[in-house]
Chain A
Amino acid sequence: GQNIDQPTEMTATEGAIVQINCTYQTSGFNGLFWYQQHAGEAPTFLSYNVLDGLEEKGRFSSFLSRSKGYSYLLLKELQMKDSASYLCAPLNYGGSQGNLIFGKGTKLSVKP
């Protein structure tokens, strides 16, 4: 089966660091995406990991462990504009077909 688990909500303080975890079970895994979605807006791409390890991109970093079915998104120096939902999306690929399976998202609230 296919299952993605991430916390529903998180709260953090401006300037702090927050880690959003995601565990997944999929077949035909071919990488994992993180998307950011502000309320009332379309999701936008943050990161893609296909190999184990940490990918750093400015204030945002994403980590993947394929053997553990685990990923996290790390946000540093939080800003108010980081208040949004963060979607974990493993890429499922098999039989020449693929699809992104999205988690229900983690709603992050950044407080002053």
Chain B
Amino acid sequence: QSVLTQPPSASGTPGQRVTISCSGSNSNIGRNAVNWYQVIPGVAPRLLIYGSYQRPSGIPDRFSASKSGTSASLAISGLQSDDESDYYCAAWDDSLSGFYVFGTGTRVTVL
């Protein structure tokens, strides 16, 4: 059971902005950077955001992220049909002996 909670779904029409939340705790988001991944069925996950705010090269600036306290969010602006997939937040958790944890995942649908 994940300690990072996301809404199961989000949707928008082409061109709209969609935001996905990720709620954690002091031992993970509260102390460590958040990463975001895009997962398309049958394809290896793709890193969208690292260090809570940074985009790897090749990731369009339509994807942006923020973090405040024990929560984080991913925003997709100018929504495109290609954006329809699953999105996961992730962070290192300092509890126990330390572990990496993914969020529960959010399915984004382009209407």
A and B are partners in one complex rather than unrelated chains:
no
Which residues of chain A have a CB within 8 Å of any CB of chain B?
Answer: none
Which residues of chain B have a CB within 8 Å of any CB of chain A?
Answer: none
